[in-house]
Amino acid sequence: MTVQIDIGTLSNGTSAMIDLEELLATRLLVQGNSGSGKSHLLRRLLEQSAPWVQQVVIDPEGDFISLADRFGHIVVDGDRSDADLHRIAGRIRQHRTSAVLNLESCDADAQMRGAAAFLNGLFDAERDLWYPVLVVVDEAQLFAPAAAGDVSEEARKATLGAMANLMSRGRKRGLAGVIATQRLAKLAKNVAAEASNFLMGRTFLDIDMARAADLLGLERRQAEMFRDLGRGQFVALGPALSRRPLEVKIGAVETGARSTSPKLMPMPEAPAEDLHELILKPAEVEPPVPRLPRQPAPQPTAELLAQLIRSRPDPAAAAAEEETDPMTQAERDAAIDAVLRDLVAEEDSAFRPVAVLYQDFLVRCRIRKLAGPRGGGGPLDLAGFRGRLAVARAGVDTETAESPAWQRATSLAKDLPEDMQGIFLLLVKAGLATAPCPSDATIGRAYGTQSVGRTRRLLTYMEQRGFIVCRAAGRGGNRIMAFPDLGCETGPGDPNGPEAVAVIEIEDTTPAGADLPVEDEAEARVE
C-alpha cells in the first residue's frame, strides 16, 4: 500500500508529496545552513507521518520534545548510562512507541555516547520486532563527523559506527534513517552516501554548493541557485520525492520548538547617569543575580520503562470496544481473510519481511475500519497474523480450512520452525485433495531458494521428525508424500518436474533468536 504525505507546495502551486513507503526503503538526507529551515522541515515530516509509522528522534537541542504533547511521543532524557539507553531503545521497539531522545543536558562527548547506545539498542532488536521505524537525526554532523574533534576517539568511533549501521544496514531491520546537517563537508561520507533522497536548502560556501549540485545531478553553473533559496525552501530529488530536481516550499506545522530565532527589540530608554549608577555601583549593594531554574533530574529508568509498558493498549478497553463493534465475528473473520488475500496476491509479497507485511496488514485493516483505536493495535497480534498468513499463502479454500483434518494440520505445523510451517501446510493441502506431489522446484520456490539440495534437506528434516513420509510411486521416478498423523497422502508427482505456476510463494523467515544465517539453517537442523 502506498501512503503519500504532504510536506508543502511546489513552485507551480501543487502539493509536494513524499511516498512514505519508498522513503522507508531509500532514506533521506537534508542539508542547509543554520536558519534555512531544516528543523522546520523535519517537524513537518514527523507530524505528517505520525499516524502511519513509528518514529524515533535523536534530538541534541531538545527542540522536538513538543511532539510528546500532540502525538504522544515518549521523551527519553539522555543523561543516563549507556546500558539504560540501550535497554530503553529495545523496549521502544518492543512496544512500538514513538520516542524522542533528548540530549540537550549532555556535553558533546556524552551526546555521542548516548546516541550510539540508543541507536545500537534499536539496531539490536530481535527479528520479530523489525517493524518499520522512521529514525530522524538532527544535526547529524555531531554524531557522524567527517574528522576528529574535541571529543574522545572512543565516543567518535562508537557513534560513527552506529550512524553507519543505521544508514547502510538499518533498512533490513526496519530502520529508515533521516539525517539533517548544516554542511555536507562536516558529515562522514560513508553515512551521507547511503541516502537516495535529498532535500537541499540554502547554503553559501562554494564547496557545499558544488557537492549539493553533484548529489542532485546539476551542472556546476546551476549551483548558485542554493544561495537564492529562502527560509523553508529546498530542492528535492529522489525516488520518494521526484525523479528530477524540484523546488519545494515547506508547509506549516502544528507544534513548535522551544528555541526561536532572535527578534529585534527597542533599546531601553534610560538616562546615561542612571545606567552608570546601575552598572558601576558597589558590589555590596548589588541585588543577587537571579539563578536560572535547574534542569529537572532525569526520570528514573524503572519509571520510564513502566511508562513505556503503560503505553500499550489496555486489554479491558480493547475488549469493551470489541463488544460495541457492530460487526459479527464471522463478518470480521471474512473481512480479515479478504485483506490477507489481497496482501499475498501482490507480486512482491513473498519477498517482504513478515514484520513489514504485518505493518501493511494493520494499515489495510484501519482503512476497512477493522483496527482498534489509534495506538490500540489491530485485529490480530503478530503471532496470529503469522498463522493466518500461512493459511492464506497456502491458498486453502474456506471449506478445507474449516475441516477437522486442516485444523489438525495447523496444530501439527506449530511444532515446526516458523520458516517451515507454510511449506508443511502447502504439502498438506495437496495431500487432502490427493493432488500430485509438488516438485522440488515448486517447494524450493515457496521456501525462497533455488537450491535443490537445500529443498531436499528441508524435506529430510520434516521426514526425520515424522511429519511426512516420502515413497516412490512405480518405476517412473514419481514420488508420493504421506502424512501419518493425518491419514492422507498426495498423488504421484515428479520431484524433478517444473515449478507449478499457481503456487503462492512462502517467505523464508529465520526464527527469532537464531544465530545461524538463513542459508545454513535448514542444513544445520538436519545435521
CA-based angle 205:23:28, to the nearest 5?
20
Judgement on whether residues 223 and 182 belong to the same structural domain of the protein: yes
User: How many domains, in total, are found in the chain?
Assistant: 3
Give the per-residue pLDDT at 420. 81
Could you write out the three-class secondary structure of 10-70? ECCCCEEEEEHHHHHHHCEEEECCCCCCHHHHHHHHHHHHCCCCEEEEEECCCCCCCHHHH
How many beta carbons lie within 10 A of that of residue 140, not counting itself?
29
Run of H or E residues at 413? helix 404-413
Same structural domain, 422 and 363:
no
Q: In this structure, are 235 and 336 located in the same domain? A: no
- Which of these three, 330, 349, 380, is where a domain ends? 380
In this structure, are 199 and 84 located in the same domain? yes
Q: Write the pLDDT tens digit of every residue in 106-130.
A: 888 899 999 999 999 999 988 888 8
pLDDT of residue 512: 43
> What span, in angstroms and rounded, lies between the C-alpha atoms of 97 and 383?
19
pLDDT in tens, 386-402: 767 766 766 666 667 77
How is residue 244 written as a grid cell? Answer: 528530477
Are both 69 and 132 inside the same structural domain? yes
Is 179 inside any structural domain? yes
Grid cell in block for residue 526: 538436519
User: Three-state SS across 176-224?
Assistant: EEEEEECCHHHECHHHHCCCCEEEECCCCCHHHHHHHHHHHCCCHHHHH
Q: What is the DSSP string of 145-164?
A: BSS--SS-HHHHHHHHHHHH
Pair 94, 161 in one domain: yes
Containing 337, the helix (H) or strand (E) segment is helix 329-345
Q: What are phi and psi of 141, to 5 degrees?
A: -65, -20
| Residue closest to 78 by CA, chosen among 109, 42, 115, 41 | 115
Chain mean pLDDT for the chain: 80
Domain finish residue from 307, 340, 371:
307
For residue 435, give the DSSP letter.
Answer: P
Q: What is the 3-state secondary structure (H, E, C) of 460-511?
A: HHHHHCCCCEEEEECCCCEEEEEECCCCEECECECCCCCCCCCCCCCCCCCC
According to the model, what pLDDT value does residue 73 have? 92
Exposed, middle or buried by CB within 10 Å (0-12, 13-18, 19+), for 494?
middle
Give the integer Cα–Cα distance in Å for 213 and 235: 10
- Domain-located, residue 280: no
User: Residue 68 domain-assigned?
Assistant: yes
Q: How far apart are CA 306 and CA 299, in angstroms?
A: 11
pTM: 0.54
| 183-199: b (≥16 Cβ within 10 Å) or e | bbebbbeebbebbbbbb
* Beta partners for residue 56, in sequence order: 99, 135
Domain residue limits at 329: 315-380
Look at residue 3 in the predicted model and tell me its pLDDT: 83
Q: How many Cα atoms within 13 Å fall on the side-chain side of residue 282?
A: 2
Q: Give the separation between CA 202 and CA 199, rounded to whole angstroms.
A: 10
**Which residue ranges of the chain lie beneath pLDDT 70?**
1, 258-263, 270, 272-273, 283-298, 311-326, 347-352, 371-378, 387, 390-391, 393-399, 446, 448, 500-527
Mention every residue, 6+ apart, whose C-beta is less than 8 A from residue 418.
Answer: 386, 509, 511
pLDDT digits (tens, 9 = 90+) for 404-453: 888 888 888 888 887 787 788 888 888 888 889 988 888 877 676 778 88
What is the domain-level CATH number for residue 195?
3.40.50.300
Q: What angle do CA 122, 127, 131 make, to 5 degrees?
A: 60
Give yes or no: residues 358 and 419 share one domain. no
